[in-house]
């Protein structure tokens, strides 16, 4: 097989997979290098025990935390990257997120591009990933040039009741924009069967819009110039004598070392692995790591301030697909709190095995099974701020070390209080009265109340883009300031993270960078 290409893309997730799909029609020779293989199609895809309790698809790689202790990251190395496991909630950042925003703990910095620069690509990404949604209901919704390509995914009765209760209180709940291939008008022909094991699980029947199903496989099927190499872990990038160009991509495949080269090299290994790869590629010309004259590579790691909260009622919650409702009324604050708080939504419906994985405090008088049958399972996200000391680095053995001190937690605490308050004001239950709603219990898939360091699902920010080469590693096109043919298109480029899920922004930006690269390749 050839070792020389026009473009090499490293990593096949939201960023790399989308870029691969966008560049394949150019006819240029494109090589996609992915360290993992395909997720095996097996019944365990939909087993909460296998996925959540046994961590069957998690990497077994061991990282280090800030104190040098072992860290077992909850992340996945497969074709399609973490989109194979994501909940497919595909949000645009808010228009304001692209500017500077004052938070309780500091400032969320502005992006070098505005919302309008990304808007056409958000529209294209929503079409590519089959997003179901409705414009204009969410009060923080940014303007859009086209409607969503598909109608919203409906609420099941218990979620509709909560939505009605919220609306009665003057709030504006809305349907989560979702990338699943569900046709509710024609259930018999619908690819998606609306099951309970979507968020966190691979889709056994390829009905989730993930990067493998929507981008990588179609590009390979339609374009012989597009090639995928699985099991190909990139270990290092090599540069020319001047240090201005990447001249080689060193790969470990089946235990053997191989080197590939291309006119353009795009790194998209996820925000943590991409930073580690650049740091590992240090050389005489780049002593602090490749493209790291600014010393920002690996710094400003963000992952959102996230919590999962269980609201227990005496009445059961029979919902199957729970992740349909969201609330952004407190995204930018409230009359009594002038700072942003964040986003309220749901995780997929939990069961006893999923709860067991988090070893939650059991509510008095409840078993895990009962708790799972009676809970509504909220997902709360607040923005964390880019702190240069929250960083990815390498330990003496070249292993990834992740140091993170949480920040901006007060807004999150207030967001939790908002959910508690809302749950108390639900409609009186016909059977149990107001006492039906027992209270709110903190739980997460791991231990403790908040999603811990190992929960790196929303990782971003480690190779930030910007206008100033002293404070950023990438320019506004996501090209490394210091290297003529090196780009980064995964979540690393975010200078700030907003408080909605990141994947659609990564996909849209990959489409934007693809347009730029098409110009270079012409
Ligand atoms: C359980 C879960 C639920 C989520 N739910 C949502 C959601 O509902 N909405 C949302 O917006 N986001 C969600 N996310 C986050 C979303 O999946 C990520 O933001 C997104 O996938 C990140 O895209 P990426 O391109 O940066 O990296 P990834 O998608 O992680 O892709 C990186 C790829 O690079 C490969 N790779 C890594 N190192 C190397 C190397 N050295 N050589 C070769 N290949 C390499 C990896 O195997 C992987 O395929 C969720 C994530 C998880 C884990
Ligand atoms: S069938 Fe639908 S709901 Fe179930 S995992 Fe697949 S995309 Fe998700």
From the list 507, 476, 377, the residue with the least C-alpha distance to 93 is: 507
Token representation of residue 58: 């998690």
Q: What is the DSSP letter of 150?
A: B
Instruction: Let me know if 203 is exposed, middle or buried by CB neighbors in 10 A (0-12, 13-18, 19+).
Output: buried
Ligand 1 atom nearest 500 alpha carbon: 11
First to last CA, the chain: 25
* Local confidence pLDDT in tens for the 522 residues of the chain: 789 999 999 999 999 999 999 999 999 999 999 999 999 999 999 999 999 999 999 999 999 999 999 999 999 999 999 999 999 999 999 999 999 999 999 999 999 999 999 999 999 999 999 999 999 999 999 999 999 999 999 999 999 999 999 999 999 999 999 999 999 999 999 999 999 999 999 999 999 999 999 999 999 999 999 999 999 999 999 999 999 999 999 999 999 999 999 999 999 999 999 999 999 999 999 999 999 999 999 999 999 999 888 888 888 899 999 999 999 999 999 999 999 999 999 999 988 888 887 755 666 667 888 888 988 899 999 999 999 999 999 999 999 999 999 999 999 999 998 998 888 887 777 777 776 766 555 433 222 246 778 889 999 999 999 999 999 999 999 999 999 999 999 999 999 999 999 999 999 999 999 999 999 999
Q: Which pLDDT does position 445 carry in this prediction? A: 27
- For residues 171 and 327, is the Cβ–Cβ distance under 8 A? yes
CA of 420 to the centre of ligand 2 (A): 30
Q: Residue 426: is it exposed, middle or buried by C-beta count within 10 angstroms (0-12/13-18/19+)?
A: buried
Give the pLDDT of residue 421: 86
Mean of the per-residue pLDDT values for the chain?
A: 93
Asked whether the beta carbons of 98 and 115 are under 8 A apart, the reply is yes
From ligand 1's centre to the CA of 78, what distance in Å? 9
- pLDDT at position 444 is 31
Q: Is 36's C-beta closer than 6 angstroms to any atom of ligand 1?
A: yes
What is the Cα–Cα distance from 292 to 470, expressed in whole angstroms?
A: 10
Among 236, 270, 474, 488, which residue has the most ligand 1 atoms within 8 Å of its CB, making it the best to mutate? Answer: 270
Distance from C-alpha of 111 to C-alpha of 409, rounded to nearest angstrom: 23
Ligand that lies nearest to the alpha carbon of residue 501, given by its number in the listed order: 1
- Which pLDDT value is given to residue 451? 74
Q: What is the rounded distance in angstroms from the CA atom of residue 489 to the CA atom of residue 186?
A: 37
CB contact at 8 A, 8 and 14? no
The bridge status of strand 246-253 relative to strand 256-267 is antiparallel
Q: Which pLDDT does position 427 carry in this prediction?
A: 76
Ligand 2: which atom is nearest the Cα of residue 181?
Answer: 7
Q: How far is CA 167 from the centre of its chain?
A: 29
- Token duo for residue 393: 């680095």
Q: Which ligand is nearest to the CA of 190?
A: 2
Nearest atom (ligand 1) to Cα of 81: 49
Environment class of residue 138 by beta-carbon count within 10 Å: exposed (0-12), middle (13-18) or buried (19+)?
Answer: buried
Angle between helices 14-23 and 503-521 (to 10 degrees): 30
Query: Among 193, 319, 324, which residue has the most ligand 2 atoms within 8 Å of its CB, making it the best to mutate?
Result: 193
DSSP state of 187: T
Q: Which residues line ligand 2 (CB under 6 A)?
A: 180, 192-195, 197-198, 203, 205, 207-208, 321
Q: What is the pLDDT of residue 362?
A: 64
State the distance from the centre of ligand 2 to the C-alpha of 266, rounded, in angstroms: 31
DSSP track, 166-180: HHHTT---EEPPB-B
Ligand 1, atom 4, residue with closest C-alpha: 86
Segments in 300-454 forming alpha helices (H)? 352-358, 368-374, 409-424
Cβ contact 490:506 at 8 Å: yes
Q: Under a CB-based contact definition with an 8 Å cutoff, are residues 8 and 259 in contact? A: no
Rounded distance, CA 310 to CA 313, Å? 10
Q: Tokens 């995914």 identify what position?
A: 153
Nearest-atom index, ligand 1, CA of 17: 25
Distance 178 CA to ligand 2 centre (A): 11
Q: Which atom of ligand 2 is nearest to the CA of 207?
A: 7
**Ligand whose nearest atom lies closest to the CA of 236:** 1
CA angle 265-269-273, nearest 5°? 120
Ligand 1 and 35: CB distance under 6 A: yes
Residues listed for the chain: 522
Q: Residue 360's pLDDT is what?
A: 58
């Amino acid at each position: 097989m050839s070792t020389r290409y026009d473009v090499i893309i490293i990593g096949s997730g939201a960023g790399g997979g989308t870029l691969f799909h966008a560049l394949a029609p150019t006819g240029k020779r494109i090589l996609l290098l992915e360290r993992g293989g395909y997720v095996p199609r097996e019944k365990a895809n939909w087993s909460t025990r296998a996925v959540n309790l046994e961590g069957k698809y998690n990497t077994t790689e061991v990282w280090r935390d800030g104190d040098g202790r072992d860290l077992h990251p909850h992340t996945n190395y497969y074709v399609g990257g973490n989109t194979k496991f994501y909940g497919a909630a595909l949000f645009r950042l808010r228009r304001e997120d692209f500017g500077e925003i004052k938070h309780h703990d500091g400032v969320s910095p502005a992006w070098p591009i505005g919302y309008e620069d990304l808007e056409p690509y958000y529209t294209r990404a929503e079409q590519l990933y089959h997003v179901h949604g409705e414009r204009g209901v969410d009060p923080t919704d940014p303007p859009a040039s086209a409607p969503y390509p598909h109608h919203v995914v409906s609420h099941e009765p218990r979620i509709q009741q909560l939505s009605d209760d919220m609306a009665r209180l003057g709030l504006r709940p809305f349907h989560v924009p979702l990338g699943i291939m569900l046709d509710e008008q024609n259930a018999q022909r619908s690819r998606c069967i609306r099951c309970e094991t979507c968020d966190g699980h691979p889709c056994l029947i390829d009905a989730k819009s993930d990067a493998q199903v929507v981008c990588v496989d179609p590009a390979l099927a339609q374009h012989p110039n597009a090639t995928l190499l699985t099991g190909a872990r990139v270990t290092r990038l090599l540069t020319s004598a001047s240090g201005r160009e990447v001249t080689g991509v060193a790969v470990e495949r089946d235990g053997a070392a191989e080197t590939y080269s291309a006119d353009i090299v795009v790194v998209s290994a996820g925000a943590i692995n991409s930073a580690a790869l650049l740091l590992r590629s240090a050389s005489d010309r780049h002593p602090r790591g490749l493209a790291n004259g600014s010393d920002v590579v690996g710094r400003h790691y963000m992952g959102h301030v996230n919590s999962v909260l269980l609201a227990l009622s005496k009445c059961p919650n029979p919902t199957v697909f729970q992740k349909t409702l969201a609330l952004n009324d407190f995204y930018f604050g409230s009359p009594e709190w002038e700072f942003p708080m964040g986003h309220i939504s749901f995780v997929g419906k939990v069961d006893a095995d999923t709860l067991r994985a988090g070893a939650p405090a059991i509510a008095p008088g409840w078993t895990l099974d009962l708790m799972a049958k009676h809970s509504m399972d909220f997902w709360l996200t607040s923005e964390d701020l880019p702190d240069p000391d929250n960083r990815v680095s390498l330990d003496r053995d070249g292993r990834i070390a992740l140091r993170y001190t949480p920040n901006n937690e007060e807004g999150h605490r207030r967001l939790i209080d908002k959910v508690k308050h809302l749950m108390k004001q639900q409609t009186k239950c016909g059977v149990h009265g107001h006492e039906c709603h027992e209270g709110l219990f903190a739980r997460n898939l791991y231990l403790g109340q908040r999603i811990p360091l190992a929960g790196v699902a929303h990782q971003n920010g480690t190779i930030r883009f910007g206008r100033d080469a002293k404070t950023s590693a990438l320019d506004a096109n996501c090209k490394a300031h210091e290297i003529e043919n090196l780009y980064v298109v995964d979540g690393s480029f975010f200078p700030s993270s907003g408080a909605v899920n990141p994947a659609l922004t990564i996909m849209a930006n990959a489409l934007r960078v693809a347009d730029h690269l098409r110009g270079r390749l012409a």
